[in-house]
A and B are shown apart, each in its own frame.
Chain A
Amino acid sequence: MSDMSWKDLRDLDCARVRSLGESWKSYVPDMIEQTERLRNDVIGGHLSVEHFESDTATQVREHIDLSTGRFEDDLSDYADIRVATTLLEAADALEAEQRELEEVVGLIEAHDFVIEGDRHRYDVNFSGALHQAIWTTDPPEWLCHRIGIEKPQGLDVADRLRALGNGIDLAWEASCVAREYQDWLRAVMSRAHDADDDAAAALAAMRESPPELPPQLGATYDDLIDDYRTALSEAVAAEMEAIANGGSDMSPEQVNQWWESLTDAEREALIAEHPGWVGPTDGIPVDARDTANRAVLDTRIESLDDRIAAIESQMAQMEAYGSGDGAYGGKSHAELQAELIRLQEDRELLGDLSDQVTDGNGNPAVYGGTGQSYYLLGFDTEGEGRAVVSIGNPDTAANVNAYVPGTGAKLDDVDGGLMTRAETMAYDAYRKAPDPGQETATVLWIGYDAPDNAMPFRDGAGLDVEAMDARYAEDAAEDLSSFTQGLRATSERDAAELTLTGHSYGTTVIGIAAATDGVDADNLILVASPGTGVATADALGVGAENVWATTNSQDVIQYTTVHGTDPASESFGANVFESESVGRNPISNHSVYWDDSNKDAGRNTMALIVTGQRG
C-alpha cells in the first residue's frame, strides 16, 4: 500500500520513472529483432526442410516457433503492456499530482500554515507565527484583504485595537482558507496514493497465473506439448475473464493495448463466446462492447421469457388441480407469484432498454435529432438497475460528453426523462458545433447505484434522506474514474474533448471521483450541485479553469448544499454561468436545466463547453 508522504511525492523523480518506462518500451523491438532471427535465419534458413528433414526436424522447427511466439506474446503482454505502460501511466499521474502539490504547498507556506498529521489524511493548521500574528494585532495583509479591512500600520494604537476587534473574523477566515488547502492537499495525496497503488497492483497481478513456457526438447517432450497447446488455446479467454472480474488489475489503457494485440479471430471469438466479459469492460472499443452487450441483452430477454412462461404454466397447473404447493422447485403458489412479478419487472426493463437502442428491424436505433446511433456500453438489472448508453460513438467523435444524473436515477430511466436530457445535450452539441462535421457523442452514465430520494422518508430507524449520504458517490468513484480512462484509451482521436456533466447528486459523484480516484476529463460541468465533497475547484484535479457550475436563482438546491461548498459560489472558484428559472417553485426549478426555457442560457453555454468553444 502506498505510504508516500507529501515530501516523498514532491521529491519523486517522475522523469526517471518515465525514462525507465521508455527503456522497457524500446527493449521490446530489440527483443523482437532476436525472435525474427530465429524465424528467418533458423526456421526459414539454416534449419529449413531443404537442409534438415525428418519428423524430429519438423518438431524442432515447431518448437522454436512456439518458443518464439510465447516470448513475443510475453513481450507484448508483460514487458510492454504491463511494465512499460504501468511506468508511463504512473509517471504521468504522479507528475500531474506533483504539479498540484507544488501549487498547494506553495500557498500553504506562503500563508504561514503548516502541514501536520498522518500522510493518508493531512491536516493544514495555523503556524505559531500566524496564530501569534492574528492575536497580537499584526495580521498578515492577505488575511486582512480577505475580510475587507486594512492591515494595521506601524504602532497606531487605534488601528491595532480595530484589528483586535476583528480577531475572531480573522481567525475564522484563516481557518476557512486552511480548510480549503487541506481539502486540496488531501485530494492530491489521495489521487497520488491511488495511482501508486494501481501501478503496484498491475505489476503484482501479472505474476499471479502466467501461461506456462513450452516444454524443452527431450524425452518427455511428446507428453508435455499437448498440454501446452491446450493451455495456449485457453489463455486468451482466461485473461479476458481475469480482466472482466477485476483479477488482472490492468488499467483501461492496458486493457486496450491487450485487446489490440489480439488477432481478429481471437477478438471475434471473445465477443461471440464471452460477451458478458467483453461488454462492460472499460478499455475495449465501443463497437465491440456494443455488439457484446446487445448479445447479452437478447440472451437475458430470451431467458426471462422462458422462465416467465415456465412459471405461468406451473401456476396454471396449480390453479387447475388444487393448491399443488411445492410442486415447482419446492415453491408455493404465493412464492411463484412473487418471483413472477420480479421477473416480469426485469423483462419490462430490459425490453424497454432494447426498444431504446434497437429499431424495428433489429438494427441499432438512431436518434432523430442528430442522426446518431445508440450504443449500449453496459447494463445491469441488479438493485435499481444500471445502464450506460451513448448517442453516437465515443471512439470516433471529436467530443464526448458523459452525463451523470443524480438522485433517483435507475435503469428504468433509459427510455424516459434522463435519456431525453441526454438527447437534448446531444442536439445542443449538434446545433452549436463549430462545423457540421464535428461530432459529439453524448453518454447517459447510470453506472452507479444512485440514492432513491432527496426528501425525508421514514425507515425503521427514523427519518432518512439518502441524497445526504456521500456513500453512493464514494461507491461510484472508481467506476466513473475507470469509465473516463476507458473513453480516453479507446478514442481514435488524440485530442478528443471529454466532458463530465453532472446534475444534482451526479455532481457529487463527479466531485468525489475527481478528488479521490481522479477523472480523465477536460471539463467538469456541475449543474444544480449540492456540493462535490471538496471546498474548491482546485481540488478536482482538472484545473479550476475547466470546472463550470450553474444553479438557477429559484432552485431549492442552493439551500441544501450538504456535500461541501456550493460550486456556484464565488469561494469555490469555478466558472459560474447562468441558467434560467421558470416561475418560483423551488422544487420544479431543480429540474428545468434541459427545458426549452433554458435553451438560450445554460444549454447554449453547456454546448459550447462540450464542443471545446469555451475555456
Chain B
Amino acid sequence: MAGADVFTMEPEEVHQSVAILFDVESEVDAQTVTLIDGTAELAQQLKDAGTALGPALAEAAEWWRLSRAGGFSRLCGTTGEYLAVCAEEAVEVDEYNAGDFASLAGHDRYPGRAGEHASARPDF
C-alpha cells in the first residue's frame, strides 16, 4: 500500500465502519442464500419437466451465489478485516496480512467472526 504523508485516524470510527462492513457481508450472504435455495428448488422441478431452463437456472443461481454476490460479500469481509487491523494498530498498515486479523478476531471486539478462516486466504 502507498505510504502516507498525512495520517489521522479515529480508531473507534474505523471500527464502526468495520462493523457495518461485516454486517453488510452477513446480510448479503443470508438474503442470497434464501433466494438461491428457492431458485434451486424450482430449477429441479423445471429439470424434471424436461426444460432447458431448469439446468441453466440452477447453474446461473450457483454462479451468482459464489462468484458475484459471494465475491462482493467477500470483499466486504476482507476490507473490514483490513480496516480492523489498521484501527487496532492505530497506524497505517502498508503490508496487509490477514494473519493479523486472525489474531485480532480472537479479541472481544469481533466475537464470532471466523478468524480461523483467515489462514485459507492467499494473503495470510
A residues whose Cβ falls under 8 Å from a Cβ of B: 1-5, 8, 11-13, 16-17, 20, 23-24, 27, 30-31, 34-35, 37-38, 41-42, 45-47, 51-57, 59-60, 63-64, 67, 70-71, 74, 78-79, 82-83, 87, 90, 119, 196-197, 199-201, 203-204, 206-207, 210, 213-214, 216-222
Contact = CB atoms under 8 A, between A and B. Distances in A.
* Interface SS of A by simple majority: helix
A222 B20 contact: no
Given A31-B28, A196-B52, 7 more contacts: A1-B52, A2-B51, A12-B51, A20-B42, A38-B24, A67-B79, A196-B53
A222 B5 CA distance: 18
Given A4-B49, A8-B49, A213-B71, A42 B10 contact: no
Given A63-B79, A67-B75, A56 B31 contact: no
Nearest to A20: B42
B75 A214 contact: yes
Given A1-B52, A47-B17, A196-B53, A204 B10 contact: no
Given A67-B75, A214-B75, A219 B96 contact: yes
Interface string B12-52: 01101100110110011001100100110010011001111
If over half of B's interface residues share one DSSP class (helix, strand or loop), that class is named, otherwise mixed; here it is: helix
Interface in B49-88: 49-53, 55-57, 59-61, 63-64, 67-69, 71-72, 74-76, 78-79, 82-83, 86
B120 interface: no
A67 B72 contact: yes
A222 B53 contact: no
B10 A52 contact: yes
Nearest to A38: B24
Contacts of B78: 216-218
26 contacts: A3-B52, A4-B50, A8-B50, A12-B51, A17-B46, A27-B35, A38-B21, A46-B16, A47-B13, A47-B17, A47-B83, A53-B9, A54-B7, A54-B92, A56-B1, A60-B79, A64-B79, A200-B56, A201-B56, A203-B60, A207-B60, A207-B63, A210-B67, A210-B68, A217-B78, A219-B1
B95 A219 contact: yes
Contact of A47 (B1, B3, B14, B24): B14
A87 B42 CA distance: 11
B53 A203 contact: yes
B51 to A, nearest CB: 5
A204 B56 contact: yes
A60 B79 CA distance: 8
B42 A219 contact: no
A297 B49 CA distance: 48
B79 A74 contact: no
Given A2-B50, A20-B42, A67-B79, A55 B74 contact: no
Nearest to B15: A46
Contacts of A55: 1-5
A53 B24 contact: no
Q: Which one of B7, B31, B35, B75 has the greatest number of beta carbons of chain A within 10 Å?
A: B75
A46 B17 contact: yes
Given A71-B72, A83-B60, A213-B71, A200 B1 contact: no
Nearest to B49: A8
A78 B52 contact: no
A281 B75 CA distance: 36
A200 to B, nearest CB: 4
Contacts of A16: 42, 45
B27 A34 contact: yes
Nearest to A206: B60
Nearest to B54: A200
B108 interface: no
A206 B60 CA distance: 8
Contact of B9 (A52, A64, A74, A221): A52
